[in-house]
Amino acid sequence: MNQDFWNDRVVVITGATSGIGKALYEELAQFPCELVLLARRAAEIAEPKNKHDRAIIHRVACDLSDPTSVLDAVEWIQKKVSKIDVLFNNAGITAHGRFDSLSMDVYRKTFATNFFGPIQLVRGLLSLLLVAKGNIVTTSTVSALYGVPGRAAYSASKSALHAALESLRIETLESGLGVSLVCVPYTDTALRSSGLDAEGGTLKEAPAKGKRKTAKEVAHVLISVARDKEARLVTFNLSGRFLEWMRFFSPKFLEKILYKKLYEDFKPH
């Protein structure tokens, strides 16, 4: 990891209480930089074990699904820092259920956290990012690359975020701003136990089967992407690249694969 790059940087991380967000701040707290950690339960963010003596950490309560909470966080940040070098747009929520069983409330809640909240935050912090010619690094998913069965609300919200941020990237092409979308694979986090079921209750699913990345492994990739403003759409592994390619070359074949692989997640009851 390039230590000099992070010296004296101002970094904002959303979803910093646990999982990937927590792994990000624990890694970056080892450098002499200023970290602004956003989370609904910001008071629960523990002091990192290996903190640089010049690292500055701010904990800011922010519920991305609540526009007033996002506005308060933006105003606090605007008063506290004069620039933002990297925004790790990391917080998100998943939602599982068949298209015909998902309530409209689930769609609204999912979009509130995964789309409207991040867009409001980016808009509010954009001037500080432009001052620093900074980088927006968004934690996304391969489910944003194609509509995944049993994940209609989740896929749609992440796809919408992709489109909006891609528009921003083009509009600010000459400003020096970086906008990166990182589609992470299955990761060992609490996403499946804290998301929404079809009726809007708390999802209580076992972790995905098969090999999963650790939050720390994903954080290392995000940190690497943050140093590369040419990074646009980043996929981790063969399965991510397969979906990225097949959506263009053979969507019919891709849909058959998704149907077979994920049938248990959306079969009629």
| Architecture in CATH for domain 10-239 | 3-Layer(aba) Sandwich (3.40)
pLDDT at 190: 61
pLDDT at 162: 97
Per-residue pLDDT of the chain (269 residues; tens, 9 = 90+): 566 899 999 999 999 998 999 999 999 999 999 999 999 999 999 888 889 999 999 999 999 999 999 999 999 999 999 999 999 999 999 998 989 999 999 999 999 999 999 999 999 999 999 999 999 999 999 889 888 888 899 999 999 999 999 999 999 999 999 999 999 887 766 665 678 878 788 777 655 555 778 989 999 999 999 999 999 999 877 777 877 787 778 888 888 888 887 757 666 66
Indicate the domain borders of the chain.
Answer: 10-239
- Give me the pLDDT at residue 89, please: 97
Identify how many contiguous H helices and E strands the chain contains and give both numbers.
11, 7
- Residue 74: predicted pLDDT: 98
What's the CA gap between 246 and 108, in Å, rounded? 30
How far apart, in whole angstroms, are the C-alpha atoms of residue 28 and residue 15? 15
Q: Quote the pLDDT of residue 20.
A: 93
Count Cβ neighbours within 10 Å for each residue of 238-268 and write b for 16 or more, e otherwise: eebeebeebeeeeeeebeeebeeeeeeebee
Instruction: Give the per-residue pLDDT at 49.
Output: 86
Dihedral sign, CA of 218, 209, 118, 38? negative
pLDDT on residue 178: 97
